[in-house]
Amino acid sequence: MKSARSAAVTALLALAATALAACESPADADASAAGASEGQVSVAVAPLSLPGVSNACYGLTVRNGEGEVVWQQSGLCSDAYGNGAGDIAYVGTCDAAVNSNRITLDLEGLFDANGLPIKDFADPCADGACTQTFDCVENSDVAVDFNLTILRALGAGFVDVSVNLDDIFCSAKVDCDSQLLTDPQTGERLPTVVLGLACSAGDGVPTHLYRTNVEIVCPNEALVFDPTLNGPGQGFVLRQGAYTGVHAEPGASTTYWNVALGLTPGQLPPDCVLRTRATAADGAFPDELSPAGYPVIVADVPLTNVDGTLDCGQVPLNGAAGGLSTVYGAESTKFPHVLAP
């Protein structure tokens, strides 16, 4: 007589760095009929907090260690399987007899309040990117975390101005109006400072990006952040994130390096200033030193008011208000961090 197997996998997805919603729905009955183990996999997708998004639809696939589909389900929409704001919950099965199992999430679509599809976002799950491998353990629960970010709000209007850096085109901004990162203790959204940088050397030439540390200087303290790190912050910065990649285009490619700092909600230290530098090149600088007279993007952005309130708004590159500008310095600049293709 075939023994019963039970195993559970909880997949928690942080889309747009939102706190996770844990809930349940009925198990998928087709998995047992197909010969898969009688365990279960519980999938929870967090509610989205993207402007104008009223519904989201997903697909889920679980495969065992031999690549066989344990179960597959499409059309899992938040208006039927969640609260209608983008979250879903679904319970299926996993195969404890043939490990390791794999679970894949597909984002099938985002929709506005009128049911019309939203298209101005980059799919974070394209080409099976949202896949995790796990061991389905008999009579035990296994947690699988997907930490995803949909950058729709950040992408809209990111290109503020293009500056020719010796045949290299760059866009940059400092945005203090977003709430992207979450508090690692409570899961609540944090006021977030985003430093965006995207450059292209054109003509298929690989683009190198360079950054200094990101500094927040206040009258009584100074915080220094490595722009390559993701995880806990320091001081009144509770969390930090770094996002890098390359968008391939016909005849060219754009390399991006975005940094996010999640701040303590409410009052902050007064009179703080955000400072950092960045640039790009179509090759490597010797010893990470840019030549004298080479253009460098310099951020010197007032972050807080005298009363400790956050007040930097959206700062475009070379905008009239200043704060983020292209400088041709007389001396070379040392860049301790480089993103090489």
pLDDT tens column, 225-261: 999 999 899 999 999 999 988 876 666 678 889 999 9
**Domain assignment present for 79:** yes
If asked whether residues 179 and 292 sit together in one domain, one would say yes
DSSP 251: T
Would you state the pLDDT for residue 91?
60
**Domain assignment present for 1:** no
Confidence of residue 329 (pLDDT cuts 50, 70, 90): confident
If asked whether residues 255 and 175 sit together in one domain, one would say yes
**Domain assignment present for 151:** no
Percent of the chain with pLDDT strictly greater than 90? 26
If asked whether residues 203 and 301 sit together in one domain, one would say yes
If asked whether residues 261 and 333 sit together in one domain, one would say yes
**Domain assignment present for 266:** yes
Neighbours of 89 (CB within 10 A): 18
Range of the domain at 78: 7-146
Confidence of residue 134 (pLDDT cuts 50, 70, 90): confident
The domain boundary, picked from 117, 146, 175, lies at 146
If asked whether residues 200 and 302 sit together in one domain, one would say yes
**Domain assignment present for 152:** no
Token pair in block for residue 113: 């309040």
Neighbours of 260 (CB within 10 A): 23
**Whether residue 59 has pLDDT greater than 60:** yes
If asked whether residues 136 and 195 sit together in one domain, one would say no
**Domain assignment present for 2:** no
**Whether residue 172 has pLDDT greater than 60:** yes
Would you state the pLDDT for residue 178?
82
Would you state the pLDDT for residue 276?
97
**Domain assignment present for 219:** yes
* This model's pTM is above 0.85: no
Q: Look-up: residue for tokens 């009929």?
A: 33
Confidence of residue 270 (pLDDT cuts 50, 70, 90): very high
Q: Look-up: residue for tokens 């930090």?
A: 240
The domain boundary, picked from 127, 146, 165, lies at 146
If asked whether residues 63 and 134 sit together in one domain, one would say yes
Number of domains observed in the structure of the chain: 2
If asked whether residues 210 and 123 sit together in one domain, one would say no
Would you state the pLDDT for residue 278?
94
Confidence of residue 49 (pLDDT cuts 50, 70, 90): low
DSSP 250: T
Confidence of residue 207 (pLDDT cuts 50, 70, 90): confident
120 contact partners, CB below 8 Å, separation of at least 6: 152, 155, 156
Question: 125-158 as b/e, with b when 16 or more CB fall inside 10 Å?
Answer: beeeebebebebbeeeebebebebbbbbbbeeeb
Name the more confident of 15 and 222. Answer: 222
If asked whether residues 211 and 107 sit together in one domain, one would say no
Beta-carbon-side half-sphere exposure of residue 166 (alpha carbons within 13 Å): 14
Confidence of residue 17 (pLDDT cuts 50, 70, 90): very low
If asked whether residues 128 and 42 sit together in one domain, one would say yes
**Domain assignment present for 101:** yes
Would you state the pLDDT for residue 237?
96
Instruction: Using CA atoms of 15, 16, 19, 23 in order, give the dihedral in degrees to the nearest 10.
Output: -30
- Rounded to an integer, the average pLDDT of 14-38 is 33
Neighbours of 318 (CB within 10 A): 14
If asked whether residues 82 and 177 sit together in one domain, one would say no
2 contact partners, CB below 8 Å, separation of at least 6: none
**Whether residue 41 has pLDDT greater than 70:** no
Residue ranges in the chain assigned as alpha helix (H):
30-33, 78-81, 152-155
Integer Cα distance of 300 and 306 in angstroms: 17
Would you state the pLDDT for residue 141?
57
If asked whether residues 100 and 208 sit together in one domain, one would say no
**Whether residue 38 has pLDDT greater than 50:** no
pLDDT digit string, tens, across residues 88-105: 666 666 788 888 888 888
Least trusted range by pLDDT, from 7-16, 77-86, 176-185:
7-16
The domain boundary, picked from 146, 181, 198, lies at 146
Cα distances from 71 to residues 31, 81, 109, in angstroms, run: 5, 17, 21
